[in-house]
Structure 1
């Protein structure tokens, strides 16, 4: 005969597995499909997002975005693993340059580069592109953002304010 403890453990184990199955759902976003945990109708928890080109992101989600530990496998079957924040993974290329992989359930995957600022802007990153010689340089947006940061810093120093969002410590 089964003891009450064995029956209780079986019921707990069965109910835990059944609970995990019950919260796993499928959500379609245009041309991508999410399968996994859902909270309030959004991808939230562990899941897999499969894009129309059969690339995948497997890992954690928060409000329909990759967020937390996860792996993205691109069309060439190269994997990018790390901690994602709000749909972005930042991959360090060297001390001054990084690649940003952005995943969106609705729009798919995009890549861009960023260059670390210099001087008082060493803690900031600016949009970059590869020039014809194969070097990373500020893009038009990166140049605009850098000039804007310089003007803001000059304005802050003229007004005597030290409460700005400066990056030095």
Structure 2
């Protein structure tokens, strides 16, 4: 018997390489987290785009009102159009604003301005006061001709800039 020559042994057979399917539980968890993050990102992006379109539509409507007034000055129509636009926007921001009248309505508008400007109450004591009675006056009324259209439009722009929600409060 020759010690150097032993039994005929075959080499060790390795098991097959692990399959990529089914993945380990950690990969399932990672896929779930990535899926949720992608869903939230798409939802956030769509909401921001909708808010941006809404904001641009409102600002375009105010620009249309201003250009209509510049082409055909009519203080009664201007006050009515600005009042209607602010009411529609306020209804979307806070539905209870629809029921507000007179000084309560002007107070609501003042509250949506920046604190420094809200203290001056430009709606209750300034150009915004025209929103209450100017839409109901006759065009030949002397108080109607005293309406400061530029101040009213600037005040409406300022209010829209601060009142329109930056983040969606609506679901």
User: How high is the TM-score relative to the length of structure 1?
Assistant: 0.26
Q: Which structure dedicates a bigger proportion of its chain to helix?
A: 2
TM-score by length of 2: 0.26
Determine which structure has greater relative contact order: mean sequence separation of CA pairs < 8 Å that are 6+ residues apart, divided by chain length: 2
